[in-house]
Structure 1
Amino acid sequence: MTTVAEPRSFTFLGPEGTFTEAALLRVPEAAAGIRVPSSNAASALAKVRAGDAYAAMLPIENSVEGGVSATLDAIATGPELRILNEVVVPVSFVLVAPDGVALQDIRRVGTHPHAWAQTRNWFQAFLPAAVHVPTTSTAAAAYELRGSSPAFHAAVCAPSVAEQTGLRVLAAGIEDNVGAVTRFILVGRPGELPAPTGADKTTVAIPLPEDRPGALMAILEQFASRGVNLSRIESRPTGQFLGHYFFSVDADGHIADARVADALRGLHRVSPGLRFLGSYPRADRQPPAVAAHNSDGAFREAGDWVTALLEGRA
């Protein structure tokens, strides 16, 4: 008798129709699984930590606005989690409103802060007096407009949400940067790591051990001396006291790569509070350029040479 596995539960930054759900639907297992919206990054990761969801899809970086602080902070604190995958989604926005609301009637606009930042030039040109009302997501703003007493006159959301809600599109393609994308990460509990593909990324959170001249350089040297390229580095406050930070870093490569593993060993000596957040396939599938002296083979040969010296064979 064949046993059919129960579909896994995945959570995402909701409600339905967000760019985050669009990213989740690009993961085949999630598209066939149970999808549960969460109101924010902290609640999504709480579901994962409690075992109520297998994994959570969250935005981590935007090509216009940079890192998403809520996600960066949520995965760097609390019980450890692992990034399993990443997805990059093109971002385009429309301005929607209920029937009867014209462009000249709009004074307050609801949307996520990142969406507002990516459309500010359009609003400066066409609705300079409009005030932004922050919402938890672009889709949440659109759904609120369908309520009896919304806090704003119009919303900025994805074209798909406009179709789902039946709201009237007053303007389309209002993003300031055509071709902008948002990077999302699928986060689960610690376990077996995704196998190296040759085109991978490793994410770590590195506390600054002490505030002194050269402290950041000591961290960066661990990567530079092994030929590990950094595709993203951001400082985030720990919240403990003023001037206390950790660095959120994306490095090219997998922990199974000798150069990356050696860099992490060095980092752990410099900053013992280092948090490994995962090694996973890059969304663009582009392998990094690795110099011959930083290849796995070069690390093996160097290790064999030292072993031979210790054993008196060289």
Structure 2
Amino acid sequence: MSARYAYLGPAGTFTEAALRQVAAPDEATYLPQVDVVAAIEAVRTGSADYAVVAIENSVEGGVTAVLDALAVGDPLVVLREMLVPVTFTLAARPGTALADVRRISAHPHAWAQCRHWLADHLPGVVHVPATSNTAPAALLAGERTDLGFDAALVPPPAVQHYGLAVVAEHVSDNESAVTRFVLVGRPGRLPEPTGADKTTLVVHLPSNQAGALLEMLEQFSTRGVNLSRIESRPIGDSLGRYSFSIDAEGHLADERMAEALMGLHRVCPHVRFLGSYPRVDAPYGDVRPGTSDADFRDARAWVTALREASAT
């Protein structure tokens, strides 16, 4: 039986493009979902083996729905990451001109990435939120006439897939935008370290006192672990209480990363490990002197020798 992958559908989304980097349609079962939380929950309930979800965009930052869904509930881990360039086309049913467009359906992230173009070319246009980047395209391809919108911001491949007409191309404010997607699965054997890896964590601060954030960050800095992403998210039980979603450079198998995690476990009330996996963007910088695996092993051997000598 082929592996089952839950992803944000319908067909033609950027998420499906990311999924195709993991497994081709003829070697896997694609399970389109109505939103990213449903995709993650499909893995938790066992109706899917894996989920592919967007976790970060180079323009809009972290995808909060994904960060929050991974921070609570039954533990899941990130197994790999994929990058997908993100651009948008304004599409509609054939015969629609730009001057005819009064209401546009778009996923909130798509709208945010096209807001300046829309303000310049369609001032006063109304945003009709969509659940995904291709959901409005699928509606436009149907027979309903009471959609409540005239056009949609969609990935360029969706125009031909759904038989739509191009109203305007290159409507993204940043044509170099990219979204990072992750493959999520149930805990098990981690991907082997490659020397260019990433570890994702959710960490609660040890207290709400001055210096608490510094105390948490020192667990990384003193071991020479660089952070490539850190975002605060409300815990939700009261105002002023936050957790931190973190991407740290390195693998659980690395001595410096293991030491940092032990430090976090000692000083922070809650640490959720969300996996170590190969990174696909630029490799991280040189290891700081004194923080290589050999340095940690030598230091541990030295302390062990001191203890043994004092015991005799």
User: With structure 1 as the length reference, what TM-score do the two structures score?
Assistant: 0.95
Query: Which stretches in structure 1 are left out of the alignment for 5+ residues?
Result: 1-5
Q: Match for residue 184 of structure 1? A: 181
Q: Match for residue 264 of structure 1? A: 261
Q: Match for residue 84 of structure 1? A: 79
**Following TM superposition, by how much is the alpha carbon of 1:134 offset from its aligned partner in structure 2, in angstroms?**
1.0
Q: Match for residue 116 of structure 1? A: 111
Report sequence identity in percent. 54
Q: Match for residue 305 of structure 2? A: 308
Q: Is the 8 A contact 1:9 1:30 kept in 2?
A: no
SS of the aligned residue for 1:25 comes to helix
Q: Is the 8 A contact 1:253 1:288 kept in 2?
A: no
Confirm or deny that 1:233 pairs with 2:252.
no
After superposition, give the CA deviation of every residue in 1:163-218 in whole Å (9 maximum; x if it has no partner): 10011011111111121100001000000001100010000000123211111111
Structure 2: how far apart are the matches of 1:111 and 1:145? 12
After superposition, give the CA deviation of every residue in 1:101-131 in whole Å (9 maximum; x if it has no partner): 2111111111111111110111011001111
Q: Match for residue 210 of structure 2? A: 213
After superposition, give the CA deviation of every residue in 1:118-148 in whole Å (9 maximum; x if it has no partner): 1011101100111111111111121122330
Structure 1: how far apart are the matches of 2:45 and 2:54? 21
* Cα distance change of structure 1 residues 285 and 193 upon mapping to structure 2, 3 Å threshold: farther
Matched residue type, 2:58: S
Structure 1: how far apart are the matches of 2:244 and 2:25? 30
Matched residue type, 2:197: D
Matched residue type, 2:114: T
Aligned-CA RMSD value: 1.4
User: With structure 2 as the length reference, what TM-score do the two structures score?
Assistant: 0.96
Q: Which moved more, 1:297-306 or 1:142-151?
A: 142-151
Q: Which moved more, 1:28-37 or 1:106-115?
A: 28-37
Structure 2: how far apart are the matches of 1:178 and 1:15? 23
Structure 2: how far apart are the matches of 1:70 and 1:110? 20
1:1-314 → structure 2 map (5 Å cutoff): 6-28=1-23, 32-147=27-142, 148=144, 149-284=146-281, 286-312=283-309
Structure 2: how far apart are the matches of 1:31 and 1:17? 16
**Following TM superposition, by how much is the alpha carbon of 1:286 offset from its aligned partner in structure 2, in angstroms?**
1.8
Q: Is the 8 A contact 1:90 1:179 kept in 2?
A: yes
Structure 1: how far apart are the matches of 2:286 and 2:123? 46
**Following TM superposition, by how much is the alpha carbon of 1:244 offset from its aligned partner in structure 2, in angstroms?**
1.4
**Following TM superposition, by how much is the alpha carbon of 1:288 offset from its aligned partner in structure 2, in angstroms?**
3.7
Matched residue type, 2:201: V
**Following TM superposition, by how much is the alpha carbon of 1:272 offset from its aligned partner in structure 2, in angstroms?**
3.3
Structure 1: how far apart are the matches of 2:233 and 2:151? 33
* Cα distance change of structure 1 residues 98 and 29 upon mapping to structure 2, 3 Å threshold: closer
Q: Is the 8 A contact 2:141 2:163 kept in 1?
A: no
Structure 2: how far apart are the matches of 1:31 and 1:230? 38
Structure 2: how far apart are the matches of 1:162 and 1:104? 19
Structure 2: how far apart are the matches of 1:174 and 1:31? 33
After superposition, give the CA deviation of every residue in 1:225-278 in whole Å (9 maximum; x if it has no partner): 111110000000111111111000000000100001100100111113100000
SS of the aligned residue for 2:218 comes to helix
Matched residue type, 1:88: L
Q: Is the 8 A contact 2:9 2:32 kept in 1?
A: yes
Matched residue type, 1:114: H
SS of the aligned residue for 2:256 comes to helix
Structure 1: how far apart are the matches of 2:162 and 2:225? 46
Structure 2: how far apart are the matches of 1:63 and 1:31? 31
> Structure 1 residue runs of 4+, over 3 Å off?
28-31
Structure 2: how far apart are the matches of 1:85 and 1:25? 13
Structure 1: how far apart are the matches of 2:269 and 2:239? 21
Q: Is the 8 A contact 2:96 2:167 kept in 1?
A: no
